[in-house]
Structure 1
Amino acid sequence: MCRYLLRAAGTAAAAAAIVSGCSSTTEPAPTSTAAPATTSSEPTAPPAPVAPGEVGVSPGGVTTAVGAPADSTEDDYF
């Protein structure tokens, strides 16, 4: 008899844990405090072409590119 009570209590505890994980909350979602991105109204000049073997940086300073000719073609990957 005690075994069945323990099993019932365990089942009830597991069910309560599952149901409480799916309950909705009344608290509002946190808002983002990030500042909006600002854009410049002045057009930027296109970057100068990079000579072969040199490294270039994008206008935003994020992406780098190597101005070297490719050693392989698309056909080399098939």
Structure 2
Amino acid sequence: MNVLPETLGRKLKLFQAADPLKHWWSVGEMRFCAKCEHLFTGHDIRITLDADEQVHFHCPTLKCDGQWEDWQYPNLHL
């Protein structure tokens, strides 16, 4: 798999087009992965392109296979 060249604008547009469950206003937004229980921002999400040129999004936590359905809005109490 190849890693896509990323600019913040391109990454945001990819998120907005690909995430069926949540809206993305910026790549700086936080999400919580229910699989690995880690908090991260859109900056951290890994994006790859497979041999068929399909775009894939990966949880930034090593060995976590979390996807859009696992990434929740964090429950932050300020």
Q: TM-score range by the shorter chain?
A: under 0.3
Structure number with the higher strand fraction is 2
Structure number with the higher helix fraction is 1
CA radius of gyration, larger in = 1
- TM-score, structure 1 as length reference: 0.18
Structure with the greater relative contact order (CA < 8 A, sep ≥ 6): 1 or 2? 2
- TM-score, structure 2 as length reference: 0.18
